[in-house]
Amino acid sequence: MFAALVYGWFLSVGLGLRVYSRRKLPRALITWWAFMVTTPLIAFLWATGLDARASHKAIEVGLFAVLGVLIGVASLRIETGMSRRLGLALLVDRSRRRRARSDALRELNERIRRNPRDANAFAERSKVRLARGEALRAIGDLDKALQLDRKNAHHFLYLKHLVRLSQDDFAHALQDILSAIEIDEYRREDYYAAAAIVYVKWGRIDGVAAMLEKQGLPVSRTHAVQVSALNAVLFDVDREIAVRTAMLSERRGSGDQSRLNSLRQARADILAKLRKFADTPSNVGFGR
């Protein structure tokens, strides 16, 4: 009896999850009900050719299998309900963040209206616009901030390079961060690291060595910056792979799969470069 119960539960949960994962819940319910109706019927028909004791046993097994299905359906309803609640919570959180960005944009617009020469307000608005996916407007705000306040130009150029990087505009991103390096000597090390990340994402890791050696840094320091940049990009790639994989499980799309494949290839290339660095002494130059 217990085996029949477990059999019914496994059948309903396994089948239900498979069908539910494809977002075809009505079909799953039809399958469950069909199984529940046919199982006792099959058991009864099979039992008619047996003696009374065996027929009772067969019908009992069929009913326990149906009970297992009912338990499976109940557990699935609980799990799918939790999944929906989690999805709803994520949507609510996304909606709140979107509303917060809209409120922030409204406040910054008012701040700029009151003082059109507030460079920091333009810079802050560029961050909000980037979060809203408005990269071109974000760049426009940063260009305005650069016109208004040359004293903090390095900060605005750093933000501008981040916007360019989000759009895979590597050439202009590199140009912006190198301009920031020329302006601000105190943060030069940080900007070198940022430029190294641009080079790695651009697929031109040899440019890191050329840039740092041009500044007179020792090869050992160049080696460390390259490894750090590779690890930073690897972290970003791993994170995007996880997100894309989750998205792909929700919907089938050749574009998503193509992007996922290119990310996995990029990850393999980065790991190969890191292994090559590990095998290369830090006092020896490293090319691409």
Contact 181, 191 (CB under 8 A): yes
Which two structure tokens, joined as six digits, stand for 137? 């407007």
* Tokens 């050439």 -> residue: 171
User: What does the pLDDT read at residue 20?
Assistant: 45
Residue ending a domain, choose from 52, 75, 98: 98
* Spatial distance between the Cα atoms of 144 and 137, rounded to a whole number of angstroms: 11
User: What does the pLDDT read at residue 219?
Assistant: 66
User: What does the pLDDT read at residue 287?
Assistant: 41
**DSSP codes, 149-188:** -STTHHHHHHHHHHHHHHTT-HHHHHHHHHHHHHH-STTH
- 283 inside domain: yes
Residue ending a domain, choose from 50, 67, 98: 98
- 126 inside domain: no
Q: Calculate the alpha carbon distances from 113 to 46, 116, 117, 121, 175 in Å.
A: 84, 6, 9, 10, 31
DSSP, collapsed to helix, strand or coil, labels residue 281 as coil
- 286 inside domain: yes
Q: Encode pLDDT of 49-60 as tens digits.
A: 555 555 555 555
Q: How many CB atoms lie within 10 A of CB 71?
A: 16
Q: How many CB atoms lie within 10 A of CB 234?
A: 17
Residue ending a domain, choose from 98, 133, 155: 98
* Spatial distance between the Cα atoms of 225 and 97, rounded to a whole number of angstroms: 35
User: What does the pLDDT read at residue 21?
Assistant: 45
| DSSP, res 197 | H
Q: How many CB atoms lie within 10 A of CB 155?
A: 20
Q: Calculate the alpha carbon distances from 70 to 12, 33, 139 in Å.
A: 8, 10, 58
Low-confidence ranges of the chain (pLDDT < 50): 1-2, 4-7, 9, 13, 17-27, 76, 79-80, 82-87, 282-288
**Of 209, 203, 193, which Cα lies nearest the Cα of 282?**
209
Cα 202 to chain centroid distance, Å, stands at 20
- 150 inside domain: no
User: What does the pLDDT read at residue 176?
Assistant: 93
Number of domains in the chain: 2
Contact 174, 210 (CB under 8 A): no
User: What does the pLDDT read at residue 129?
Assistant: 92
Contact 80, 20 (CB under 8 A): yes
The one-letter amino acid at 144: K
- 225 inside domain: yes
Q: What range defines the domain where residue 23 resides?
A: 1-98
As a whole number of angstroms, the longest Cα–Cα distance in the chain is 98
- 169 inside domain: no
User: What does the pLDDT read at residue 249?
Assistant: 64
* Spatial distance between the Cα atoms of 12 and 9, rounded to a whole number of angstroms: 5
- 127 inside domain: no
- 65 inside domain: yes
